[in-house]
Structure 1
Amino acid sequence: MVKIYVDPGHGGSDPGAVANGIQEKNVVLAIGTSIRDILQLEYENAEVRMSRTGDTFPSLSQRTNDANAWGADFFLSIHVNAGGGTGYEDYIYTTLSDSSATGVMRARIHEEVMKLNGMSDRGRKKANFHVLRETAMPAVLTENGFIDNSADAAKMKSNSWIQDVARGHVNGLERALGLRKKSGSGSTFLIRVKVASLYYYDAPDWNARAGTVSQGEVFTVVETLTVNGSTMYRLKSGNYITANPQYVEII
């Protein structure tokens, strides 16, 4: 198994950068959680641990100590930027060369993220960040747009963009770490379903039609029913989804 440590930056009392009505801690948690979900759902040799899964604030030392103690093979820290710029960039530790093992891994992640994030490329950089310096394994920190840029922030508010960015990171991790897809995973994707009040009917709606949905989208369920032996979920938008072949996670 390849042990991947996913670190959504900030959290809890530390919101990170704040602008345009959103907070960095929430954006990066959404990206990090989606990365975890895709890895666990689609790959047979990926084991994932996260520094946080909710609105908490582990210290920088707690994050790196946890990854080191767990024996992670790779450390991925997710952030968004601020300061008047625009676009995507990523970092490895200052003393590492681009041709080092970590540099090559970062290059593959960079290439795959840039294919899907719809942002300008600010390049591959180096820094003396704690999470890059104190980790005992290859580590990369990604900065996914500028929260104080209105165009970048508009993307951050889009769930489809969150999913695209997560997918880009996962595609890069697959290339960098030799991850193997589960058999048949190419036709499976994750849909989160937010349960509202559920109404059950004795007679199902046989005219129900499954709507087209995007990977990772969150819907509100207003009704469940059974059609030809398959459970269907009626969405607030009026469309239906089925539990098969999609993977439906009730939240």
Structure 2
Amino acid sequence: MVKIFIDPGHGGSDSGAVGNGLQEKNITLMIAQQIRNILQNEYEGVEIRMSRNGDSTVSLAARTNAANNWNADFFLSIHVNAGGGTGFESYIFPGVGAPTSTYQNEIHEEVIAETRFNNRGKKSANFHVLRETIMPALLTENGFIDTAIDANQLKDSNFITKIARGHVNGLESAFSLQKKQTQSPIYRVQIGAFKVKENAEKTASQASEKGFDTAVLFRDNLFKVQIGAFSNRNNAERLAQRAREAGFNAFITS
């Protein structure tokens, strides 16, 4: 199990940088939530905690203490830059080597590849969240909120997803994360859905008399009559067509 602590910068009474109608605290939270969601939905063996899940004020010490007490494997702090520049840069604590520098390389390059941000380079700084964490830590600056070209991208939810995806791709590479196994969909042939069980049983009986194997299932507060379930949609289509020819209103669900 890889334990990743995600830190959306600022929050609550601390808005962070502002510009072009945006506040840093809101952008960092959106990026962090997307990173968390992608990791949880698509990967196995990863556990996530965040320094904040909403617009709350959290001190720097509380952020690093939470990660340290949890024994996180990696600390990722998300920020948005200001000062009139453009593009992406990342920071680690001065003088640290591998694996932190390796993680920085992998995440930095993946964010650049996904977003096509101007590459401002891999840097180091004596930031609290990099200094006081006992695990490898990285801080990323995702565009400039006070530069129109970057701000316009940060207003686009699809671009926020690209930023998040870049971070996740880097984490996948850095920690050899494994994708969840996707299960093939099951295509079900249904010939009726009823609020009254007796009506469903009547339809099932009629289908049985015409040679169909039937089942009555209670799902979504309805009694549903099913005559087949297949991993291959073509097989489901053939059975549904047979049922229509027999006079049933058959359709496929998955």
Q: How many residues were matched structurally?
A: 190
Q: Which residue of 1 aligns with 2:62?
A: 62
SS in 2 for 1:136: coil
CA contact (8 A) 1:93 1:127 kept: yes
Instruction: Identify if the C-alpha distance between structure 1 residues 128 and 3 changes in structure 2 by more than 3 Å, giving closer, same or farther.
Output: same
Alignment of 1:126-165 (within 5 A): 126-165=124-163
Q: Which residue of 2 aligns with 1:109?
A: 107
Computing the radius of gyration from Cα coordinates, the structure with the larger value is 2
Distance in 2 between residues matched to 1:26 and 1:228, nearest whole Å: 44
Alignment of 1:166-181 (within 5 A): 166-181=164-179
Distance in 2 between residues matched to 1:229 and 1:136, nearest whole Å: 54
Alignment of 1:20-39 (within 5 A): 20-39=20-39
CA contact (8 A) 1:42 1:185 kept: no
Q: Which residue of 1 aligns with 2:180?
A: 182
SS in 2 for 1:14: coil
Once the two structures are TM-superposed, the CA of residue 21 in structure 1 deviates from its matched residue by: 0.2
The code of the aligned residue for 1:34 comes to Q
Q: Which residue of 1 aligns with 2:85?
A: 85
CA deviation map 1:153-200 (0-9, x unaligned): 00000000000000000000000111111101899xxxxxxxxxxxxx
The TM-score, its normalising length taken from structure 2, stands at 0.72
CA deviation map 1:202-250 (0-9, x unaligned): xxxxxxxxxxxxxxxxxxxxxxxxx9575xxxxxxxxxxxxx7xxxxxx
Once the two structures are TM-superposed, the CA of residue 143 in structure 1 deviates from its matched residue by: 0.2
Percent identical pairs in the alignment equals: 58
Consecutive unaligned residues of structure 2, counting only runs of 5 or more, are 186-249
The code of the aligned residue for 2:58 comes to P
The list of structure 1 runs, each at least 4 consecutive aligned residues, that deviate by more than 2 angstroms after superposition, is: 227-230
Once the two structures are TM-superposed, the CA of residue 118 in structure 1 deviates from its matched residue by: 2.4
CA contact (8 A) 1:13 1:56 kept: yes
Alignment of 1:239-250 (within 5 A): none
Bigger helix fraction: 2
Consecutive unaligned residues of structure 1, counting only runs of 5 or more, are 188-226, 231-243, 245-251
Q: Which residue of 2 aligns with 1:121?
A: 119
Aligned Cα root-mean-square deviation (Å): 1.8
Q: Which residue of 2 aligns with 1:44?
A: 44
The TM-score, its normalising length taken from structure 1, stands at 0.73
SS in 2 for 1:141: strand
Distance in 2 between residues matched to 1:125 and 1:147, nearest whole Å: 20
The answer on 1:3 being equivalent to 2:3 is yes
SS in 2 for 1:67: helix
Once the two structures are TM-superposed, the CA of residue 132 in structure 1 deviates from its matched residue by: 0.3
The code of the aligned residue for 1:80 comes to V
CA contact (8 A) 1:132 1:139 kept: yes
The code of the aligned residue for 1:132 comes to L
Distance in 1 between residues matched to 2:13 and 2:251, nearest whole Å: 49
Once the two structures are TM-superposed, the CA of residue 95 in structure 1 deviates from its matched residue by: 2.0
The code of the aligned residue for 1:103 comes to S
